Chain A
Amino acid sequence: MELQVSYVNEILIFVIFAVSLNLLLGNTGQVSVAHAAFGAVGGYALAYLFLHHGTQLWLGTLIGIIAAGLVGFIVGLPALRLTTEWLILLTLAAQTIIITLATTSSSFGGTYGLQNVSGFEIFGKKLQQPSDFLPLFIVFAAVVVLIVYRMAESPYGRVLRGIREDDVACRSLGKNIYTFKLTVFGVTAAMAGLAGTMLVEQNQLASPSLFGFDQSTAIVAMVILGGTGNIVGAILGATVLTLLTPFFENVLNFSADRASLWRLIAYGIVLVVVMLVRPQGLLPEGVSLWSLPRRMFGRRKRTTEAGLPSPDEVSRGALASTGDLGLEADAHALTELRHRGALPTTGAVEGKVGDVVLSVVNLNKRFGGITAADDLTMQLRRGTITALVGPNGAGKTTVFNLLTGAIRPDAGEITLNGRDITGLHPNQVTRLGMARSFQDVRTFPRLTAADNVMLAVQDQPGEHISNLFLRPRRTRAGERETRDTALQWLSFVGMERFADYPAGALAFGQQKLVALARILATNAEVVLLDEPASGIDQQWVDVMLGLIEELRTQRRTVCIVEHNLHVVGRLADHTYFMELGRITAQGTFEELTGERRLAEAYFGTA
């Protein structure tokens, strides 16, 4: 009986490891192969304090959790700006450094580790058998699962998914992605630390092999098998893979040596086969356990009730399915737009039309020998549309990058409504009221259109961890409001019918509209649109231009970068002409096209 209980304990421990890594890897998209090492920090802390200072279970566990969280925080710090391959390397280095430290340092017992870690007591009861630990482990695992669930399935989790899909876009929507990433690194490492203390209690020892690279890989395998981004999947993965050892030892009667080798081989096979056959794992994101049999054995065609492709279908090959919805959907959205009467009033802006909202003075930026911005001076006025035109490579997009803080200028000043915003981060600029779009749309492909837009709503109570746990009512109310706002904006651009479509399944033109709704939902007064009409069919161009004119009516301040001169001619109240990082001419569109030099060089002599 005790043997079976010890398997249950083991499962509970790895459930904690797996769901916490899943929050980091599956939801936030941050790959870590150091999860077992964070467990080691917790486990060794508990063992060391117990053996040398007689520290009891509660305090030892708490210290272990905190220590692991701190180490996770420290590892997370340099990880903030890293791309996937560097993050893998960084965590690989962290895993090795932590375990090598434990192995070589004599106070931690070297290769054999700290032994005889037994004799804990809680409430005056000695904990010796696995069954003595069982209730405690159940509570620990349940608490961790609940916390992870709350963090993942909430506005907070939506931001994490946004970071996973596209951190630049997420930042441009006003989210301080570094705080989110760092918090998740720390929290998940702390959870691993808790699992580490439990692993030490279970084995009555803290040794390097308990927390080695193999173990980190095993945890990754659990998450991958279960399905990244799905908490039930992680629990499933942890259970299945943990049960492999008893399966090999008891069912196949392998010796302990052989069983441990086979177990690892099985982990490896899981990783390879899952990647080849079912990269989204047993339970893909957004799929519940109960629907699994139907999905696996039912009809092959997988669609939601409305006949739309499900999110995991899109995640399989986000790019391949782009545009699958085809023309019929396009036509539908168009008719809907043409027949709609009222437009939302939420976006209307106070203030006088024609006032300078954004002022740029002598902005300079050099990249090595290339001057990207040369003494740029320009103004954007309320309720007007300003166009930035010029040949390719003139630095138009760079201007957007400079204005929104994606690139820091070398010199010059940017003021937004009288406030100096030079050198602020993109998320701060957005929160102060200036948002941008991207040439390549950058919607979050695996999130629904509604989620895409909801991410842009500012000041959601549910984006603070404390509110998630302390003010659930406020969080829920805030979430309803957010969804309402998002749907309003989606209907403004005529896309409400596609609210629950994954953005990646939409046609390019539709994605552009969703992206527009997304910027508007930030409630930014100044809207910078990078080639809003490029790469889409003529019918969509009309829709898009109509919407942009509508923004002007709402007294928003709009700036567009555009190559299509018909678009500029129709929209622009004022036009700046850029060449090689300089503004060489400005005026109305007619004035510019009237200038002979520009007409010959750029507009074409017609």
Chain B
Amino acid sequence: MFHDLTVDNFLQLTIAGVVNGSAYALVGAGFGLILGVTGRFHFAFTFTYTIAAYIAAEVGVSWGMPFWAAVIFGALVAMVFGVVFERLIYRPLAAQAGPYALLVIFVASLGLAIIGRNVIGLIWINSASQQISGFSNLGYNYGPVTVTKLNFITVITSWVLIVALTAILSYTGLGRVVRAVRANPEMSLVVGVDPRTVYLAVFGVGSLLGGVAAVFDATQTAAVPDMGFNPLFYAFVVAFLAGLGSSPLVMGLVGLGLGLVESWAALFMSNQWTSLVVFGILFVYVALRPLQASSFARRLRLAPA
């Protein structure tokens, strides 16, 4: 039943779990912010994620941009797309569809995701996968386990961003505005906050965080057209398990847990099956949801209201 249960193996898997989990945490915090505040079923997050990686690869190679500049540039492009989608597609749809907005936006967003994925396929048709250049990944050995420089960067950057976002939301006036809109968009309008502006900001920040994670993801392997699908799925799991109104930190911790569970699952089954674990978790969670309502989510919600 146990595949390769050794202490060394366990440690290495744990490290992999923490690294992947941190990336899920970052994506989950970004996507969860969008979903939690706007309630938009933003499927095209797959596209803003993927385009960040491709742009970073492109500017790194063609323009010779240094690694960190490429990361920032890629993430900024993701941010622009997120804002544009909200402004040009979702906002008019929401205004027009009224009570059917959820479904209408989901369908349109699905469309955007497909368009984006295949336009990327067309643009980079001759070289499906793009490497991110300008980054020399070093490995550090600590006894039986190996940790790479990219691993460190991923974990540290993810948590710095998540904590910063949590702090902004919790302790600044800007954060208060966002929380107010999340709680009640109509009422916030009454007190002089335009929820539409907040939505734009939230789409920008959420896409930006996703973009950063995407560039790290592509640095590890390569940018491919379908790379956005699994992260979006994980982000869904994170956002829904943590509860839609919860703080980025809670979402981050759930993401970390998800990464560890997925990684440790490799102890019990061969590697190719582990991704099924997350989908399985989601399926079971959603399936059981009507039974226990959302009490599980509520208990996890440590966040400020």
Contact = CB atoms under 8 A, between A and B. Distances in A.
A93 B282 contact: yes
Contacts of B41: 85, 88
A264 B98 contact: no
Contacts of B98: 317-320
B104 A279 contact: yes
Contacts of B118: 261-262, 264-265, 268
A272 B106 CA distance: 10
Contacts of B103: 31, 84
Interface string A75-107: 001101110111011101110110011001000
B286 A270 contact: no
B284 to A, nearest CB: 9
Contacts of A271: 107-108, 110-111, 114
B108 A82 contact: no
A188 B287 CA distance: 20
Interface stretch (B57-65, B166-174, B250-258, B273-281): B273-281
A213 interface: yes
Nearest to A272: B111
Contacts of A92: 233, 236
A81 B229 CA distance: 26
Given A89-B240, A268-B113, A275 B280 contact: no
Interface stretch (B21-29, B89-97, B145-153, B213-221): B89-97
A231 B119 CA distance: 32
Contact of A90 (B89, B107, B287): B287
Contacts of A269: 111, 115
Contacts of A270: 111
B93 A97 contact: no
A217 interface: yes
B161 interface: no
Contact of B286 (A82, A221, A265, A275): A82
Given A85-B41, A261-B121, A276-B92, A78 B111 contact: no
Contacts of A258: 122, 125
A444 interface: no
A180 interface: no
B99 A276 contact: no
Nearest to B275: A100
Contact of A104 (B114, B272, B282): B272
A265 B119 contact: yes
A267 B111 contact: yes
B2 interface: no
A251 to B, nearest CB: 18
A45 B28 CA distance: 37
A257 B121 CA distance: 10
Given A100-B275, A104-B272, A264-B118, A93 B110 contact: no
B296 interface: no
A114 interface: no
Residue among B108, B114, B115, B121 facing the most chain A CB atoms (10 A cut-off)? B114
Interface string B110-152: 1111111111011001000000000000000000000000000
A264 B240 CA distance: 29
A336 to B, nearest CB: 31
B290 interface: yes
Interface in B230-254: 233, 236, 240
A33 B96 CA distance: 24
A97 B283 contact: yes
B279 A276 contact: no
Interface residues of A, number: 47
Contacts of B119: 265
Nearest to B236: A89
A265 B289 contact: no
A214 interface: yes
A224 interface: yes
A296 B159 CA distance: 55
B104 A81 contact: no
B72 interface: no
A268 B280 contact: no
Contacts of A93: 233, 279, 282-283, 286
Nearest to A87: B286
B205 to A, nearest CB: 22
B87 to A, nearest CB: 13
B102 interface: yes
Interface in A209-241: 213-214, 217, 220-221, 224
A97 B273 contact: no
A45 B21 CA distance: 36
Contacts of B112: 268, 272
B28 to A, nearest CB: 14
Contacts of B108: 271-272, 275-276
A262 B123 CA distance: 12
Contact of B283 (A90, A214, A221): A90
A562 to B, nearest CB: 28
Given A261-B125, A272-B111, A276-B89, A88 B106 contact: yes
Contacts of A90: 283, 286-287
A93 B93 CA distance: 26
What 6 pairs across the A-B complex have the smallest Cβ distances? A271-B111, A78-B287, A268-B115, A268-B114, A81-B290, A272-B111
28 contacts: A77-B287, A78-B286, A78-B287, A78-B290, A84-B103, A85-B102, A89-B236, A93-B286, A96-B279, A97-B280, A97-B283, A213-B229, A217-B110, A220-B107, A262-B118, A262-B122, A264-B114, A265-B118, A265-B119, A270-B111, A272-B111, A272-B112, A272-B115, A275-B104, A276-B108, A279-B96, A317-B96, A319-B98
Given A88-B41, A89-B286, A90-B287, 12 more contacts: A85-B41, A85-B106, A92-B233, A97-B280, A97-B283, A261-B125, A265-B115, A268-B112, A272-B89, A276-B93, A279-B100, A279-B104
